[in-house]
């Protein structure tokens, strides 16, 4: 009995040494006395504290700890044991939380690493960092400390200036930035208390809690439409204007098209050609032509603005277009990738004007199959600019201006669409929030724009052109060396996410077949059809989109899973997407028989383009959220029908039906019970009475609070 007790005591002593050491290892920059260590281990009685004191002293004697000041110790990062246990390092991107803690999304895909707030080493959201991993603790996520900031994600910060007697602070708009910038009076650049500004970090001393900064631009009074939209652009590091050099370069481009250039191109000016775009569009970068051929065949031309003719590689315009990566579609206006002289004039396929294009021309048989294709430089003359609404009216009525031609185009598009879905394409039909604004940019109303046949008509021909261009370059003979190209790829969905989604729809009474891509796509598309108009529609589609992988640009082709295409690129929008401009240049060279280009340079450009695309999407979403909050500002106290669109440990997200204005119902405000999160089933449950609120439920809400600066809406459940 005594022997067993002795072994047990030895084990307990060894466990305590490990536990004490872990406290110091998990907090390598912090100092603790034995009482603080005891408190962290929950050993608050005197006997327990005495044991901890002895262990701390033993670790100090063994040089595992060093004394920082009298009675306080910290881990000896120079000890052989610490170096050995912490030798493993990873790199990744910081996902910072409002509390100051962070998760590192690793570059090697080995999983997230948790970083406590005191171990972030002045890193901020989005930074690329090097992380030293802590020894793995049983039952815990991987943890570590940031030891180096490899690359800052953000260089400028947007927020409100608070001026005190001797200095000022910038309070960042972005909740993912958990620190305020300390700004000396001489660095205010004329900014006054309460104004919205852009500032940069100038210095961040190792032991300083706050970085030092300076104001580089005063935006103006918070709440003003122009100020807020500029603030969103600056927050995502988009420039607010073009450089003088780029503007001058654009103005110098002549209006006319030289006869010599026209002579090099295939002439489509006498063939029926139209553009179909949103009502408020300013740049028209694609047009379609139609021509009757013998044998009941039709020739359809997909004509894309020849931006590469005007924007030469390495020019000032080209450099700025590359940096921007894309046009940004804010609620109040488009922020173009190219100066307006190009995007709205010379490159825009306006009606009744000769325009230079890069075209993909297809001959269709009577069954809507492509029997011949041609690619090359052209000149066109659009005879009519249609809006989607005008074309939709013609399709639905079967009569109107150019009804016969539009009917033929729509018939071919329907066959292309049917073939695509038959081969396993997914039919995601997302709803788009649109606003009617007054002259000052304030929202008067919100409406939802849905994809109709007119939108799909254009989309189907653009998808065809993108696919056929990619196939021409990528589908080489086995003995031919593949050429470097920019592909738009989409990987298979993550199996774990797919399993969670499958469980969700099964609980709603539906099923998903996962055996093949075709069966899965058919199941998804059938599901979208079956839930149309039900309370679960928006929720299921949004979860389905999150389940799928994100599309991106790369030189390494893996196909496009969502479209069921083996080869796919972006060729059809060079006015507003830089990858399309790269594709035009490469494709033209390859058509002329030029050799392949080095892949490494273009892969870097692809990574930059994918990053800028994500930033633009985030900025666009932020502008929509801001306008929705602004629209709801005078509706505090009013009641609306809504739908639960998300659940979290903090509360329920509810989306107002008809406007998609999403706000939070905090769980602490549900005072009829104590509610807990059932994450797997996307619901919260009342502990005493068993009331359940789940994704997709219809609810009645009252608007409680609107925080315009944070773009947040708080609702009360009725």
- Which pLDDT belongs to residue 13? 63
Dist. CA 56–CA 74, nearest whole Å:
10
Dist. CA 528–CA 433, nearest whole Å:
19
Is position 331 within any domain? no
CATH of the domain at 115: 2.40.50.140
Q: What is the mean pLDDT of the chain?
A: 90
- Which pLDDT belongs to residue 87? 58
Same-domain check for residues 162 and 205? yes
Same-domain check for residues 460 and 522? yes
Whether the Cβ atoms of residue 134 and residue 25 lie closer than 8 Å to each other: yes
Q: Which of 623, 648, 668 is the last residue of a domain?
A: 623
Is position 319 within any domain? no
Same-domain check for residues 561 and 614? yes
Whether the Cβ atoms of residue 302 and residue 288 lie closer than 8 Å to each other: yes
Question: Could you tell me the pTM of the whole model?
Answer: 0.82
Q: What is the DSSP secondary structure assignment for residue 667, as one 8-state letter?
A: G
Same-domain check for residues 488 and 618? yes
Please give the structure tokens belonging to residue 117.
């707030």
| Mean pLDDT for the stretch of residues 293-317 | 97
Alpha-helical (H) ranges within 475-536 are 495-507, 517-530
CATH of the domain at 214: 2.40.50.700
Whether the Cβ atoms of residue 501 and residue 510 lie closer than 8 Å to each other: no
Q: Which of 81, 107, 131 is the last residue of a domain?
A: 81
Same-domain check for residues 696 and 712? yes
| Mean pLDDT for the stretch of residues 326-350 | 94
In Å, how far from its chain's centre is CA 345? 30
11-40 CB burial, b ≥16 within 10 A, e <16: eeeeebbebbbbbbbbbbebbbebeebbee
Same-domain check for residues 66 and 101? no
CATH of the domain at 40: 1.10.10.10
Same-domain check for residues 507 and 562? yes
| Mean pLDDT for the stretch of residues 12-32 | 80
Residue-wise pLDDT tens digits, 412-447: 999 999 999 999 998 877 778 999 999 888 999 999
Dist. CA 245–CA 327, nearest whole Å:
19
**How many independent structural domains does the chain possess?**
5
- Which pLDDT belongs to residue 85? 59
Is position 489 within any domain? yes
Same-domain check for residues 580 and 474? yes
Which residue, among 246, 342, 263, 359, has the nearest Cα to 302 in the 3D structure?
359
Q: Which residue has the tokens 């940031």?
A: 146
Dist. CA 663–CA 653, nearest whole Å:
6
Is the pLDDT score of 84 beyond 70?
Answer: no
The residue count of the chain comes to 718
Is the pLDDT score of 516 beyond 90?
Answer: no
Same-domain check for residues 216 and 163? yes
236 C-beta neighbours (distance < 10 Å), count: 19
Residue-wise pLDDT tens digits, 559-571: 999 999 999 999 9
Range of the domain at 668: 636-717
Is the pLDDT score of 410 beyond 60?
Answer: yes
At 118, give phi and psi (nearest 5°): -80, -5
Same-domain check for residues 590 and 713? no
Is the pLDDT score of 12 beyond 60?
Answer: no
Strand runs (DSSP E) across 414-561, as ranges? 432-437, 443-449, 487-489, 552-554
Q: Which of 597, 623, 649 is the last residue of a domain?
A: 623
Is position 120 within any domain? yes
Whether the Cβ atoms of residue 442 and residue 669 lie closer than 8 Å to each other: no
Same-domain check for residues 116 and 170? no
Residue-wise pLDDT tens digits, 240-263: 899 999 999 999 999 999 999 999
Same-domain check for residues 504 and 613? yes
Is position 13 within any domain? yes
Is the pLDDT score of 320 beyond 60?
Answer: yes
Which residue, among 96, 53, 575, has the nearest Cα to 344 in the 3D structure?
575
- Which pLDDT belongs to residue 547? 83
Is position 558 within any domain? yes
């Amino acid at each position: 009995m005594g022997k067993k007790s002795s072994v047990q005591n030895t084990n307990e002593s060894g466990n305590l040494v490990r536990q004490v050491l872990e406290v110091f290892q998990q907090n390598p920059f912090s100092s603790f006395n034995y009482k603080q260590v005891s408190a962290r281990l929950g050993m608050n009685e005197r006997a327990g504290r005495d044991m901890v004191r002895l262990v701390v002293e033993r670790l100090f004697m063994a040089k595992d700890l060093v004394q920082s000041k009298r009675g306080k110790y910290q881990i000896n990062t120079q000890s052989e044991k610490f170096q050995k246990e912490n030798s493993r390092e990873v790199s990744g991107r910081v996902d910072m939380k409002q509390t100051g803690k962070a998760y590192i999304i690793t570059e090697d895909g080995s999983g997230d690493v948790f970083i406590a707030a005191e171990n972030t080493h002045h890193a901020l959201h989005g930074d690329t960092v090097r992380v030293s991993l802590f020894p793995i603790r049983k039952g815990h996520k991987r943890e570590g400390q940031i030891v180096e900031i490899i690359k800052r994600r953000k260089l400028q910060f947007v927020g409100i200036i608070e001026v005190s007697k001797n200095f000022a602070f910038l309070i960042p708009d972005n909740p993912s930035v958990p620190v305020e910038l300390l700004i000396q009076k001489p660095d205010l650049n004329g900014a006054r208390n309460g104004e919205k500004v852009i500032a940069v970090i100038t210095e961040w001393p190792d032991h300083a809690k706050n970085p030092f900064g300076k104001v580089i631009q005063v935006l103006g009074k918070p709440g003003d439409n122009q100020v807020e939209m500029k603030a969103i652009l600056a927050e995502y590091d988009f420039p607010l204007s073009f450089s003088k050099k780029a503007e001058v370069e654009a103005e110098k481009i002549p209006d006319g098209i030289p006869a010599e250039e026209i002579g090099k191109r295939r002439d489509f000016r006498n063939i029926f050609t139209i553009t179909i775009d949103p009502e408020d569009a300013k740049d028209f970068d694609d047009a379609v032509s139609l021509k009757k051929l013998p044998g009941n065949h039709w020739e359809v031309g997909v004509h894309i603005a020849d931006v590469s003719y005007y924007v030469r590689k390495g020019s000032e315009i080209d450099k700025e277009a590359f940096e921007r990566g894309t046009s940004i579609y804010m609620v109040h206006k488009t922020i173009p990738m190219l100066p307006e002289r190009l995007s709205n004039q010379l490159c825009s396929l306006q009606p009744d004007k000769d325009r230079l294009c890069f075209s993909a021309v297809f001959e269709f048989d009577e069954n809507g199959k492509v029997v011949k294709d041609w690619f090359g430089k052209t000149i066109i003359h659009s005879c009519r600019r249609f809006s989607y609404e005008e074309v939709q009216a013609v399709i639905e009525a079967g009569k109107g201006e150019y009804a016969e031609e539009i009917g033929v185009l729509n018939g071919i598009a329907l066959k292309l669409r049917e073939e695509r879905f038959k081969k396993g394409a997914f039919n995601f039909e997302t709803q788009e929030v649109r606003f009617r604004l007054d002259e000052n940019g304030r929202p008067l109303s919100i409406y939802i724009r849905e994809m109709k046949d007119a939108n799909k008509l254009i989309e189907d021909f653009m998808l065809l052109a993108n696919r056929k261009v990619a196939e021409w370059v990528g589908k080489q003979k086995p003995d031919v060396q593949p050429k470097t190209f920019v592909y738009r790829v989409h990987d298979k969905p993550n199996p774990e996410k797919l399993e969670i989604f499958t469980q969700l729809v099964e609980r709603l009474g539906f099923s998903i077949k996962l055996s093949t891509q075709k069966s899965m796509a058919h199941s998804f598309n059938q599901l979208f059809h079956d839930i149309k108009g039900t309370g679960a529609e928006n929720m299921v589609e949004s979860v389905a989109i999150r389940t799928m992988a994100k599309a991106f640009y790369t030189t390494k082709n893996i196909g496009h899973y969502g479209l069921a295409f083996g080869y796919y690129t972006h060729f059809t929008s060079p006015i507003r997407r830089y990858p399309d401009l790269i594709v035009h240049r490469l494709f033209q060279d390859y058509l002329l028989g030029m050799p392949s280009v080095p892949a490494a340079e273009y892969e870097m450009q692809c990574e930059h383009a994918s990053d800028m695309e994500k930033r633009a999407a985030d900025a666009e979403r932020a502008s929509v959220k801001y306008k929705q909050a602004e629209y709801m500002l005078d509706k505090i106290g009013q009641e609306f029908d809504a739908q639960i669109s998300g659940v979290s440990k903090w509360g329920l997200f509810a989306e107002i039906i008809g406007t998609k204005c999403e706000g939070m119902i905090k769980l602490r405000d549900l005072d009829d019970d104590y509610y807990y999160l059932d994450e797997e089933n996307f619901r919260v449950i009342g502990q005493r009475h068993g009331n359940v609120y789940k994704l997709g439920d219809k609810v009645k809400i009252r608007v409680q609070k609107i925080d315009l600066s944070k773009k947040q809406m708080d609702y009360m459940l009725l």
